[in-house]
Amino acid sequence: MKVENSCGIKTRVLTLLTVTAVLGFPKMAMAYVGPGAGLTLIGSLIGLVIAILTALGIILFWPVRALIRRIRGKQPTTATMESDNVQETSPESVNKKK
């Protein structure tokens, strides 16, 4: 048994054409954007670009910095090296030193 759809093809086509006409051909917006909004947008974009370039520069310079420290004889500070140099401060170790 075939169930017919209550919405016919003509109705669907007419709805599609109406939606396309309404969304596809908008009227001109009568809006004014003042100079303050434009300057704010430009300033925000410049700040965003500078922040991204700074972050990339730091990430890219990090290995170079470690290499320079290694060449000069200083060991780069990393979490693993710092954990090796941490002194034990438990109460037992403090009492042993006294």
Instruction: Give 28-68 pLDDT, tens digit per residue.
Output: 777 787 889 889 999 999 999 999 999 999 999 999 988 88
Name which of 33, 36, 34 is nearest 44 in CA terms: 36
What proportion of the chain, given as a percentage, has pLDDT over 70?
66
What is residue 24's predicted lDDT score, i.e. its pLDDT?
80
Neighbours of 48 (CB within 10 A): 10
| Amino acid (one-letter) located at 31 | A
What is residue 22's predicted lDDT score, i.e. its pLDDT?
83
**Contacting residues for 65 by C-beta, under 8 A, at least 6 apart:** 76
The pTM (predicted TM-score) of the whole model is 0.42
Q: Does position 11 have pLDDT exceeding 80, yes or no? A: yes
CA distance 42 to 53: 17
What is residue 94's predicted lDDT score, i.e. its pLDDT?
56
Q: Does position 91 have pLDDT exceeding 90, yes or no? A: no
Higher pLDDT, 25 or 35: 35
What is residue 49's predicted lDDT score, i.e. its pLDDT?
98
